[in-house]
Chain A
Amino acid sequence: MTPTPAPGRRTPLARLRGPATFLALLAAALLLLPHLLEPFRLNLLTQYLCYSIVALGIALAWGRGGMLTLGHGVYFGLGAYAMAIHLTLAATAADPLTRGRLPQFMAWSGRTELPWFWQALTHPAAAVTAALLLPAALATLLGWSVFRQRVRGAYFALLNQALAAAFVILLIGQQHLTGGSNGLTDFPVFAGHSLYTPTAQTTLYTLTVLTLAATYLLLRHLTHSRYGRLLIAIRDGEDRVRYLGYDPTWAKTLAYALSATAAGAAGALFVPVMGIISPTLIGVVPSIMMVLAVAIGGRDSLAGAAAGALIMNTAQTTFSETFTGGWTYLQGALFVVVIALAPHGLAGLAHTARAALRRPRTPAPAQETATAGSTP
């Protein structure tokens, strides 16, 4: 029998090379791209990188932990709305016409007082905290209560989807509190700084890249810990794990909550970059698109998932502008093709390609490389 290295477990050299290359590339991109890209493209790229952060979280929960989360738009949305509410308040305060009064949409719908959760988000630090903690808290609550009862697999996926549907209906229905289906838009300032300057755009870009890198490193550390192996074990045999003396509930809840927090952070970054947040960006379909990006990139690979989000969103912008209908067909076909033919996504294809390229060069190496490859 030929022992083969486990995916995500490579030679010590490759282990170092993987993140080192990734970080070097990121650093180069961080320094160079703002100078190379025109502001419009830089803005788009920043948006895509926000989705890459979401993808990292989904790769942890789904790829490692087997929890198919069809409702990550909710967590992205909680982060985004926390930030958008704060930015709307900042805009209202800065605008000489509305200074000290309610945002226009609220005044139009007949409200005379700011709702309590708006007031709570007046301070920028409160907004950032809420963008991270609200998704974490909701995911912990939902995750703990269903995982504890061993609700999993398809049931869990469908519950997530139902949550996304309910959340969007709530946002649309509570027009006087949330801006309804128009959402919230027009964010000129954050913490006293204008968001419309090129410097602001570069800063947002840098922040997004840093958040992406930090998320990647944290999750990468986790996937290499015993906890990471425990997640894989839970994915492949949750009941069996119980007979190893572990309680899967906390392990799953943690992965799910972390992935929700990543989505919240991404949402908070997305809002000042995009300049708008509305229910159409976070509903059932956007949520499942976030999962599609991970499937395309490769659910087993963090870097693959992040790249998948970047690639899919770039393609979306490129194609949907020219032929809208055609892009939907293509997206639908992508689901089928990726799941049917490349379940490990682009990362899996890259892995296979690399293995195929390496083989002819060294004769009879299968045993050797494999053994060396699996040295811990």
Chain B
Amino acid sequence: MDALVNQLPTGLAIGAVLLLAALGLNFTFGQMGVINMAHGEFIMVGAYTAYVLHAWAGLDPTWSLIAALPLAFTLTGTLGWLLELGLIRHFYGRPLDTLLLTFGIGMILQQAARDTFGAPNVDVPAPGWLTDGTTLPGGIRLHHSRLFILALALVCVLAIAHYLHRTHQGRQMRAVIHNRDLAGVSGINTRKVDATTFFIGSGLAGVAGVALTLIGPTGPTLGANYIVDAFLVVVIGGLGRLRGTVLAAFALGILNATAQAWTDASLAKLLVFAAIIAFLQARPQGLFTVKTRALT
């Protein structure tokens, strides 16, 4: 129990990063069943957006961070919207094909980043007020950048919850997720809803990318490093459940941190994997499920 308490801040920090990376997937994978493997590359694009604002446009760290968040959201959102419009919508109902298709897109984006920014990692300096940390009584150190990411993740979750439950478009989106055909005949433009869902989901990847520049270097494979864990979060959380995604992200974060403290980082991943398989023995559909009558 003591170990768990000690690892809690680290776990929450990892969880917040996972949550940010997985939030967009909650839309595209969780809500639409589309596995967008290029999501990781959208995260990478978001990170480079912050880099460009700082290194090319010459904004100071605080302003580049503030400007990068909406800009990255719009940019990756548009990329996702284009991807849905041009490719993915032809492959609804074929999730495994979409997976491979979008992996190809991801490869292309990764190489494009390599050609534009070079293969070596670049650094985006964090604003001064985020580089500091606070030491809690008991010697646990809280990095401000981690706190910022945690806050950002929570703001995003609240914004999504508000959108899904309090706005007209959000309710339409939930209707489409629940029963596409019925929503369609009820006069909802399902095509438009799909496109919007993809825009928001991909836009959140951009936000995650900007946040990741605060805690590490930016490179062409930045997103690829997070995407596997981000997908695991959605798998554990259950399809289309915001609550599940939030819980799963922090559970996985804390599990990772504890396992790392217990053994070492390389063995921890395998232990976490084993824990997930064990978890699926009890809850094969993830933390939360939607019951369906469809026969598959």
Known A-B contacts A159-B276, A237-B296; the reply to A170 vs B269 at CB < 8 A is yes
- A172 contacts the other chain (Cβ, under 8 Å)? yes
Known A-B contacts A68-B99, A142-B277, A332-B107; the reply to A158 vs B231 at CB < 8 A is yes
- B60 contacts the other chain (Cβ, under 8 Å)? no
**A163-220 interface (Cβ within 8 A of B):** 163, 165-167, 169-170, 172-174
Question: Is the Cβ of A291 less than 8 Å from the Cβ of B100?
Answer: yes
- A227 contacts the other chain (Cβ, under 8 Å)? no
A334 to B264, CA, bound (A): 39
Question: Is the Cβ of B235 less than 8 Å from the Cβ of A159?
Answer: yes
- A99 contacts the other chain (Cβ, under 8 Å)? no
Question: Is the Cβ of A333 less than 8 Å from the Cβ of B111?
Answer: no
Distance to closest chain B CB from A204 (angstroms): 32
Question: Is the Cβ of A343 less than 8 Å from the Cβ of B97?
Answer: yes
Question: Is the Cβ of B104 less than 8 Å from the Cβ of A162?
Answer: no
Known A-B contacts A328-B111, A336-B105; the reply to A167 vs B296 at CB < 8 A is no
Known A-B contacts A149-B284, A158-B35; the reply to A331 vs B277 at CB < 8 A is no
A83 to B66, CA, bound (A): 53
Known A-B contacts A146-B280, A151-B280, A173-B266; the reply to A332 vs B104 at CB < 8 A is yes
Question: Is the Cβ of A328 less than 8 Å from the Cβ of B99?
Answer: no
Chain A residues with CB below 8 A from B264, complex form: 173
- A359 contacts the other chain (Cβ, under 8 Å)? no
Give A111-154 as 1s and 0s: 1 = Cβ < 8 Å from B's Cβ atoms: 00000000000000000000000000000001001100111011
- A340 contacts the other chain (Cβ, under 8 Å)? yes
Chain B residues with CB below 8 A from A151, complex form: 280, 284
A333 partner, pick from B108, B272, B281, beta carbons under 8 A: B108
Question: Is the Cβ of B108 less than 8 Å from the Cβ of A157?
Answer: no
Chain A residues with CB below 8 A from B281, complex form: 145, 149
Question: Is the Cβ of B267 less than 8 Å from the Cβ of A162?
Answer: no
Binding site for A on B (CB under 8 A): 29, 33, 35, 87, 90-91, 95-97, 99-101, 103-108, 110-111, 114-115, 224, 228-229, 231-232, 235, 264-267, 269-270, 272-273, 276-277, 280-281, 284, 295-296
A-B contact pairs, 15 of them (CB 8 A): A68-B99, A145-B281, A154-B35, A158-B231, A169-B270, A170-B266, A237-B295, A239-B295, A240-B295, A284-B228, A325-B115, A328-B111, A329-B108, A332-B108, A333-B108
Contacts A158-B35, A340-B91 given; 10 further ones with Cβ under 8 A? A146-B277, A149-B280, A149-B284, A159-B235, A173-B264, A173-B267, A284-B224, A331-B107, A336-B105, A339-B91
